[in-house]
A and B are shown apart, each in its own frame.
Chain A
Amino acid sequence: MSEQPPKRSGIAIWLPLALFGAFFALVIWGLYRPADREVASAFIGKPLPQFNLPAATKERPGLTTAAMTTGKPRLLNVFASWCVPCAVEAPQLEALRQQGVEIDGVAIRDRKADLDRFLATYGNPFARIGKDDLSEVQLGIGSSGVPETFVIDGKGVIRHQHIGEIRPEDVPMILEKLKEAQS
């Protein structure tokens, strides 16, 4: 047996490069595809972890687990001033607030000045805003990006996770989930 046939065929030599090209095309597609990763969260039905976040802005108090277990369902919005989709969903959050929904916010890796500017520009529908610079609470509730919105029932149990911005057509669904959490 010889190592290779004496005359190497032209195609075999270029095969590794061709395979690499295919790999490259695949991961380029994977890297820039629209972020759609709907995986059912393992945190649904779990109580919120115990946390105590300091206030992210002077205008609102910080966020604790105790403050979120009031017996009434509410929304927990994970956002950041540097996140464009968060600005997109601001009118929907405001609309929800006007319908009597209580919304708490967790600001991820944010600066106070930027946050104040964001709230001044896009409105401030939040009752409380906690400051989460190390994404601790974010990871603790199974959120991997911004924005995400959680429906929390009156006992502090996570009932629903909405990944990505809340679009106008999502508002009825969110209200429905809040209603379900009531029961």
Chain B
Amino acid sequence: MIAEIGLAVLWMAAALAVLQLFAGFSALRPGGKALAGVVRPLAVMQGVLVAISFLALIDLFLETDLSVKLVAANSHSMKPFIFKLAGTWGNHEGSMLLWITIMAVSGGVVALVEKRLREDTLIATLAGQAFVSLGFYAFLLLSSNPFERLPEPAPEGQGLNPLLQDIGLAFHPPTLYVGYVGLSVAFSFAIGALITRDVGPAFARAMRPWVLGAWIFLTVGITAGSYWAYYTLGWGGWWFWDPVENASLMPWLAATALLHSCSVLASRNALRAWTVMLGVIAFSMSMVGTFLVRSGILTSVHAFAVDPERGSFILALLAIYIGGALALFGIRASTVTEGERFSLFSREASLVFNNVMLCGILGIVLLGTLYPLMTEAFGAKVSVGPPYFNPVSAIFAIPMMLMMGVGPLLRWRKDKPSRITAMVAVPALLVALVLLAIVLMFPSIRVLPMLGIAVGAGLAVASWLPLKGRNLRRTPLSVWGMVVAHCGLGVALLGAASESAFSTERLAAMNVGDTQSVGPIALKLEKIEPVAGPNWTAIEATVSASYKGGGAVTLHPQARTFTSPPGERTESALYTRWNGQLYAVLGNEGDDGRWQMRFWWKPFVPLLWLGGLLVAFGGLLALIGRVAQDVKRLRVGDKIAFRKTRQDMLK
């Protein structure tokens, strides 16, 4: 019964989306005003219905209703509660339903709370949102119905694969999803504003919280994904420029650029066409990323859930939405009037500079990701890796980070260099000193990590300068957010560069009782013994490690052999200190009975993920600040309106 309700409600929601689309577009035509009033309620209702449908699916998974095909294939009655719950979206159909749910609920929230935007622009936005979601409804209802029943209930579910019962795997994909789908709202706003030729500060203010929210989720998703790859893949690396990783990085880069140009448009009414363009590009990158991952068109270490048919479908949606939006941009861009002007030395100009740098990085990542496919079209097989991505992205990233130290100090519209020289001198001096110190102390270090450490340290300090001369209690939360996020990026860069510059590696064949050392850590192989888990057996090493002669800690790296499904995996062991991390991997037994052990000492590498979280936390502060500001403005506006009507009545 629950499954039937879920499906029926989903069909109804799709029908409402059709209505929302047509009512919206009719309302925008001359003489269609009568329909304008129904668009908001339709969007809210659609959101409610889809949410009910998703709750129905969650219920089926929690109850383990084995008469439902999706549950039987992906769940199991003995699974822990949290994995039953996560199982709801841990499959193709469920994740598509989650996608639509987030989209429809966001649309409903926009319809409920958005009061600043011109009404016709809002209606166009909601119609656009309905148009985008219809493609996904079609996909879900016509080819991947999550509520399909089995002819007879299965005796037990097939989803008790402990390999997939990983808390990271359970929550990492939906985190990125929320980010992707949040960008769809920004996309709809951009379409709405293009249709009604209403690209202005109100549009930017309406769009900004959605972009910020999506960006926070993307930041957390990428940071967590990078840490997950670091500890599970067992290679000691944290970013591989793999197509799947690039697929999550590209929307983030576009969203970062959008976020900043949105701020310029909101406060200065400049960069109009640019902001609209980025709104389209950010969501395009989400869809391009989803397409690249799901279609299996590129070879990737993560490629296991690929299906060319689904790839074709996503590609068709991509062509309709992105092609359509870019065509609309082409037609309408010439009518988007130029915004406010600004001088070459102003905060706007610095933001434009960094936007161009971000788009440059986006371009080279996209190019590098697609390059193997392009050369294959001409008959050559190549793979593109860190030797291309690292230096080429640094060409854009390093000037960008230098500018990040200066830009927030500048005034809007026009500023004089002499006003900020004294302030900038401090971090600039720091960068120079760090550079000098590194060159003197570690002459063998490569150029990129050296620049990374100097610029990262400079940025981490310079990012606090905008607070100088401000009353800290009265500083808006959004400024704090910017400071924290910029500082976080500096910290992350510092961690990454330090890892790349100072990591030491030790590969050793060890007998039990042997000692080794890596960096400041002394190691001893205490014992090797077999252990067993639910569906695996493993050889486990016990290693004691002590930092500079201090107290010893024990680590347990394993080499696991899985029985169902069969496979082998190394489980690395980590020992984290504030100033670095020990990474231990157990390899094979050699012919002479000694064990291959691999150790890394990575100074300051935890800063990398700490920095990522700081960036996300900064975003969160800014979001809270902006929303609180909006609520306050709304209240004041309501009060004024109330007084006005009262006065009118008194008259």
Interface residues of A (CB under 8 A from B): 1-4, 6, 8, 10, 13-14, 16-17, 20-21, 23-24, 26-31, 33, 37, 39, 49-51, 133-134, 136-137, 139-140
Contacts and interface: CB of A to CB of B under 8 A. Distances in A.
A36 B352 CA distance: 44
Centre residue among B161, B284, B297, B327 by max chain A CB count within 10 A: B297
11 contacts: A1-B342, A2-B338, A16-B277, A16-B280, A16-B326, A16-B329, A17-B323, A37-B299, A39-B299, A50-B563, A51-B563
A49 B370 contact: no
Contacts of A37: 299
Interface string B257-296: 0000000000000111110010011001000100100010
Sort A-B residue pairs by CB-CB distance and give the 4 closest, nearest first.
A136-B565, A49-B566, A140-B566, A17-B326
A3 B326 contact: no
B295 A139 contact: no
A9 to B, nearest CB: 10
Interface string B503-529: 000000000000000000000000000
B323 A2 contact: no
Contacts of A139: 304, 565, 567
B270 A3 contact: yes
Contacts of B330: 13-14, 16-17
Contact of B333 (A8, A28, A29): A8
Given A27-B291, A31-B295, A3 B323 contact: no
SS of B interface (majority):
helix
B565 A27 contact: no
Given A2-B341, A39-B299, A50 B561 contact: yes
A16 B563 CA distance: 50
Interface of B: 158, 161, 270-274, 277, 280-281, 284, 288, 291, 295, 297, 299, 304, 308, 311-312, 315, 318-319, 322-323, 326-327, 329-330, 333-334, 338-339, 341-344, 349, 352, 370, 373-374, 376-377, 561-568
Nearest to A10: B334
Contacts of B315: 24, 27-28, 31
Given A30-B376, A137-B566, 13 more contacts: A1-B343, A3-B341, A6-B338, A8-B334, A16-B280, A23-B288, A31-B295, A31-B312, A39-B299, A49-B561, A49-B566, A136-B564, A139-B567
A140 B565 contact: yes
B628 to A, nearest CB: 30
A26 B370 contact: yes
A133 B291 CA distance: 26
Contacts of B370: 23, 26
Nearest to A36: B376
Given A14-B330, A31-B315, A39-B299, A4 B565 contact: no
A134 B373 contact: no
A3 B272 contact: yes
B377 A26 contact: yes
A63 to B, nearest CB: 12
Contacts of A23: 288, 370
A20 B271 CA distance: 22
Centre residue among A20, A23, A140 by max chain B CB count within 10 A: A20
A49 B341 contact: no
Given A13-B330, A49-B568, A29 B342 contact: no
B566 to A, nearest CB: 3
Contact of B308 (A14, A31, A136, A140): A31
A40 to B, nearest CB: 12
B566 A20 contact: no
B325 to A, nearest CB: 9
A158 to B, nearest CB: 13
